[in-house]
Amino acid sequence: MKNVIIKMQKLKEATLKAGKGLWKTFPMILGTILLISLITTLIPKSFYTSIFQNNIFIDSFIGSLVGSISAGNPVTSYIFGGELLAQGVSLFAVTAFLVAWVTVGLIQLPAESAILGKKFALLRNITAFILAIIVAIITILILGVF
């Protein structure tokens, strides 16, 4: 019985500590969400179609770069990707864009650095950026739909 009471106290302490940590990070998370919404609203979709060159490597790089800056969630990325394809953007660019959009987060980098550490956040974002380019090229080449 004594063990159960001790475990319950530890659970209560851990829950309170986690809640306080979440409460402290809430302003950063909210600010990040608002900033992402603002940038997504301010940059028109026609901007994206004007910067792609129909080159496998350049389009993949630019798609990854723009996706890294834009940042968003997977649900909206599918709609956005479909719109980009409909406007004539290459599949390489759209694939790199979508992968980077979901995995790289330059906008939320300050919040991620504060929560997870600067070195980890930078390394994770750089790796995700490079892999977005590689994944886009390999995916389209394997599917053979270009």
Domain boundaries, the chain: 2-143
CB-based burial, 110-127: b 16+ in 10 Å, e otherwise = ebbbeeeeeeebeebbee
Q: Tell me what the pLDDT averaged over the chain comes to.
A: 85
Confidence at residue 49, expressed as pLDDT on a 0 to 100 scale: 66
Q: Alpha helix (H) ranges present in 1-146?
A: 2-42, 45-49, 56-70, 74-86, 91-103, 109-116, 118-143
pTM of the entire predicted model: 0.68
Across 7-18, average pLDDT: 90
Across 12-33, average pLDDT: 84
Lookup: tokens for 113: 């650095």
Q: Binning pLDDT at 50, 70 and 90, where does residue 124 land?
A: very high
Confidence at residue 82, expressed as pLDDT on a 0 to 100 scale: 82
Express each pLDDT in 38-95 by its tens digit.
776 787 767 766 787 788 999 999 999 988 987 777 767 777 788 788 777 889 999 9
Confidence at residue 93, expressed as pLDDT on a 0 to 100 scale: 93
